[in-house]
Structures are given as C-alpha cells and as structure tokens.
Chain A
C-alpha cells in the first residue's frame, strides 16, 4: 500500500427518522444537516464545502442537490458539488468531499442526501424515452427493480440451495434490530412465518423481503485530521477507504436496468467480478481486509441479496452465506454482525441518503453510541452498496 493519505475524520453525523412523510426532500436534508453540525460541535458558517447527493425523481431541485442545500442553509458563497450515481450517490458525495479535504482545498465539508419517494414501485419519470434502457425495461419487459432481485434470489436457490426460509430469516434477523432503531421506518419485529405469509412480488421474493421506498435524509461533517485535532476530536471515527468502482468488461451479471449482460464470447473476464471488486477496492485503500471488520452495513434491496453480499465483501466463501446466517454469525452478538441498523428492510430506500446513512450507522457503532443494538467493541466497519447503471460503492471506517 502506498503512503498516500486516505483518511478524513467524521466529526458529526445526522439522520432523520425514515418514513413516508410526504414533505419536500429539502426539509429532511436540512434536519439531518442541523443534527450533524450540532454533533460536530461547529457552526454552519464553519462549513467550507457542501457535497450533495442528487435525486432525479423529484424534478428540477433534485438535480442540483448541492446548491439546494446551500441555499436552504442560507447562502454563504461556499463551493459545492452534486453527485448522481443512483443508490451509490451518497458515496460519491463522500468521495467528492474527501477529495476536497485531502487536496487541501478545504478543511471541513458537509455531505448530505435526502429524498421524498412516491408510493409503490420506483418508476421512470413521465414521457416517451424509447432510447433509454431504464424506460424501455418497464415498457418492453415490465421489469421493475424487484424483477432483478428476484432473478438473483432464484439463481441463489439454484446454485447454493438457499431456501425461502433463509430469505425470511434475513428479514426476521434485521427486523429484530430495526425495531430498536429510533430512526428506522419499520420498528416492528417480524417472524419468519410473517414474512412467508406476505404476498409474492417477484418470485421467490415476497413483500416483506423487498425493501420499500422511503423518505429520509442523512448528513456527515467530514474534516481533515488536523482540523479534528484542533477541535479536540483526534479520536473521531475516520473514513479510511472509499470505493466508487465500475465493472470491468465483460460484466457477466445481469444488472439493473439492462436487458442483457455483456458478451464474453470475444474477451474473457479477468479478475474479480464487479460485486466482488466493490468492497475489495475500499479494503485495499484502507490497508485492511474483511477479516479485520467488526461489522458491515450491506445493501439489502432484498433479503436474499444480503446473502450475496456476505460473499461479495469477503465475509465467507461463495455458497457459504446461508450457513453463516443460520449459525447466527451475522446477527447482533455474532462473529460479524450485518445490518445492525436494521438495513434497508427496516429503513426502505431513500436513494440519495442511504449510502450516507450506512456511514452514520458505522459512526454510531464505532463510537459506542448505538444503544441496544451496539456491536461490542466495534472499531472497524464496512459499508457496501450498488447503484444501477454500474456504480459500486463502499466505505471502510475505523476508530
């Protein structure tokens, strides 16, 4: 590993309770910002850069998230950035802020993402867009996001012998901790039988195994290690590794919103698969490996997908995720607890906020502030997430 500095300090974190409130997304973002700034013990006027994670589904203001939040907080003339990478938008915003800090362009930066979502399936914006695969998959295939989750889940059953009970167990596990998280949308414990009795949405996935779409906001105050030290916070949680990787050709996995994979007929794929490469890149930057992690927040768009991530982030070998789950290794109190926030199953998707929210959870955990969902002695953690169109997203935090 090179001697390149990769660390910035997380001085403050903020997150709204997630739900279906129907308020403008700016309100959620502002609430998260104010909490993060208070948590950091600074004033908004101290912020030197704002990195916004964009949402494109709420019309014009969503496309300009950085400026929207800078305006909402009262213009101070500071520079901004806006990142769009679908579900990975938050990590790109973190990466943008970190680059500013590490380059010396600023000492302290704000990262924020917030969303207001419509009910039901995520759907394309109105209008005829016959050249856009993300529009065409609805028109020509009727393929929603859960269609892709269903394909992965069925494949997992076929390859590794996963069962519907395993997928239900993931939901039950996460709902148990989600019920203890005051910021989760669903604070209800579900038994496996409840999950298996819910209606089928995308065979083999049922309603309670697919994450909802939610309103919510999350924010971070990031700063240089020197700035943290000056504030008496040299022991703050640090971001040590960030991954925003894309696939390498040919990508053999059918990815949302595509109609087909790349063809491997001409050029063979070399090296790690896309999903395997996402956390690997963040680990490499951090100089750590999966064996060093004390907890993980993974992107459980479906309960079945959580199992894929165990393997993709190196917690176990391919095909062993079900055993890890059944053995309780990934439950609170297990070897490497996964999604002790409750995960997307308890939160639902608020696209620009969720990758930031994952880092908020790691921060609380690494500070020992997670209350009755605290992972004992947690000093390291990893997040992983993936945005449609080929956006990898992973953050390694240490304390």
Chain B
C-alpha cells in the first residue's frame, strides 16, 4: 500500500489556492455569495482542500498498514499494531458509491449556519470509497433532494459555499450524483429480500 500512497499523494501546498466558484454550483439565497468579491476559503482547511478543479478531502495514510484516516490523524496510526508507522498526507478519492442518505427536514441548531429563510431541506449522503474502504459523510449539492437519490449511485465530490461571513465565503465539500448512475429502487430493495 506504500506505493499507492505515493500515487495518491497530492502536493497539498500547491492546492491551497483561492479560486472563483464553479458556475452554477449554487443558487437561491446564496446567489449573492457567488457574485461577491469576497475571497472563497475552505470552511475547514485542514480537512478540505478547496480547489476549483480538484477539490478534495485531506486524509493521512498509515503507510505500513495501508489504513486511511479521515479526519487526518497525525499523531499515531489507529490501526492496531502500527503505532510506529509513518503517516503521510493524501487526498481521498473524489468519487464513490452512495451507501445511504437522508435529509435535514428542519433547520439544524447552532453552530449550523442557516443560509436561507425560510429553511430549505437539504440532503446528506454517506458515500463509500472503494480504495480507502471507508464511508464519508457530506451534504448533497444544492438542488438535489433526497427523493432523487438511491443507494448505489455514483457520487462525485464537488465544492459549494457553506456560508458567508464578513470576511469570506466558506466553501465545503459536497456530494453530487454522477448522471446516469441511478439504481432503480426496486432492484436494490428487492435484492436482499
């Protein structure tokens, strides 16, 4: 797995640049954010590299065992028996398979920052990454409701504004369905019955 870490490692410093947002990535009440001259920054720079072409989650890889850690762990590998292994920063895969999903039908409490009034429900996805063999949560892109999702869909990691304050637009990772990968609900729910 050590070789794989080399392949997957990004030069993270080069990727911590500020960019303009993807056009059409957001709308509604956040339209003002997209036209704002404020800088766009990662809402969580140590976990999420905001990069207009290749936004990605930052993980660490225990090079001896091949275990990934997200959020990144720098102190010690959590894989039992690999306490002395090196931990290398890597980018997590930007595509995965929808493991499950839900939505927020009511506004979450603080410290969630509500960006529309009245509150608009949004979907949340749990996406399984095949290389890393782990499931990562994320909001689903604006404009895609939970009704449009089905387990088994392919999902792509993109970046959208999470909220805006006086200083900046805070960008976050979101999962976006890859067109044409929807799995019919009948097929998935019937499979294990």
Chain A interface residues (CB < 8 Å from chain B): 120-121, 123-124, 126, 128, 130, 133, 135-144, 146-147, 150-155, 157-161, 199-205, 249-250, 252, 254, 258-267, 319
- Pairs across A and B, CB under 8 Å, 20 listed: A121-B106, A121-B109, A124-B110, A130-B44, A135-B111, A138-B109, A141-B124, A142-B112, A143-B104, A144-B104, A144-B108, A151-B102, A158-B100, A158-B188, A199-B105, A249-B80, A259-B136, A262-B67, A262-B134, A266-B1
New A-B pairs, 9, CB < 8 Å, besides A141-B139, A263-B132, A266-B79: A126-B110, A140-B43, A159-B192, A263-B69, A264-B134, A265-B1, A267-B67, A267-B80, A319-B192
Residue of B nearest to A124 (CB): B111
The residue from A158, A200, A262, A319 contacting B105, defined by CB atoms under 8 A apart: A200
CA distance A144 to B136 in the complex (A): 16
Contacts of A200 in B (CB 8 A): 103, 105, 121
Residue of B nearest to A162 (CB): B189
Contacts of A203 in B (CB 8 A): 101-103, 105, 123, 146-147
Contacts of B47 in A (CB 8 A): 259
A140 touches B162 (CB 8 A): yes
B100 touches A152 (CB 8 A): yes
A260 touches B105 (CB 8 A): no
Contacts of B122 in A (CB 8 A): 142
Residue of B nearest to A201 (CB): B105
Instruction: Return the 7 tightest CB-CB contacts between A and B, nearest first.
Output: A150-B102, A266-B66, A266-B67, A266-B65, A123-B109, A263-B68, A264-B133
B137 touches A143 (CB 8 A): yes
Residue of B nearest to A318 (CB): B192
Chain B interface residues (CB < 8 Å from chain A): 1, 43-44, 47, 62, 65-71, 78-80, 82, 99-106, 108-113, 121-124, 126, 131-139, 146-147, 151-152, 162, 172, 188-190, 192-193
CA distance A202 to B123 in the complex (A): 9
- Known A161-B192, A260-B135: A138·B112 in contact at CB below 8 Å: yes
- Known A158-B100, A161-B190, A266-B66: A202·B134 in contact at CB below 8 Å: no
Residue of A nearest to B79 (CB): A267
Instruction: Kindly provide the distance from the CB of A142 to the nearest chain B CB, expressed in whole angstroms.
Output: 4
Contacts of B104 in A (CB 8 A): 142-144, 147, 202
CA distance A146 to B103 in the complex (A): 9
B66 touches A154 (CB 8 A): no
Contacts of A201 in B (CB 8 A): 105-106
CA distance A141 to B113 in the complex (A): 10
The residue from A155, A158, A265, A319 contacting B131, defined by CB atoms under 8 A apart: A265
The residue from B68, B79, B105, B189 contacting A249, defined by CB atoms under 8 A apart: B79
Instruction: Kindly provide the distance from the CB of A395 to the nearest chain B CB, expressed in whole angstroms.
Output: 28
Instruction: Kindly provide the distance from the CB of A329 to the nearest chain B CB, expressed in whole angstroms.
Output: 18
The residue from B68, B108, B132, B188 contacting A143, defined by CB atoms under 8 A apart: B108
Contacts of A143 in B (CB 8 A): 104, 108, 124, 137
Residue of A nearest to B134 (CB): A263
